[in-house]
């Protein structure tokens, strides 16, 4: 990654001594799938879906089942 335009390092120290923290997920990173899954899980819990204890890819509500496979959902 490159430093953002206009970013200045204090005290003119070298770039190799600093670490930048991403505030948002970037598609293609190893943790991108995990972040998407957490976001989906939070949304489904808000909609009052419960996650199955035996299969974490299956959510259920009163009368509906929702299966998640990678980035696809079947209702």
Reading the block at residue 8, the tokens are 């200045």
pTM for the complete prediction? Answer: 0.64
Using an 8 Å Cβ cutoff, are 58 and 67 in contact? yes
DSSP character at residue 64: -
Q: How do the pLDDT tens digits run along the chain, 75 residues long?
A: 667 788 776 665 555 666 777 777 777 777 888 888 999 999 999 999 999 999 999 999 999 999 999 878 999
pLDDT at site 20: 72
pLDDT at site 14: 56
pLDDT at site 1: 62
């Amino acid at each position: 990654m490159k430093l953002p335009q206009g970013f200045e390092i204090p005290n003119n120290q070298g770039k190799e001594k600093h670490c930048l923290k991403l505030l948002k997920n970037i598609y293609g990173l190893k943790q991108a799938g995990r972040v998407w899954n957490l976001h989906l899980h939070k949304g489904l819990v808000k909609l009052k879906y419960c996650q199955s204890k035996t299969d974490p890819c299956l959510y259920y509500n009163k009368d509906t089942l929702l299966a998640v496979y990678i980035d696809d959902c079947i209702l």
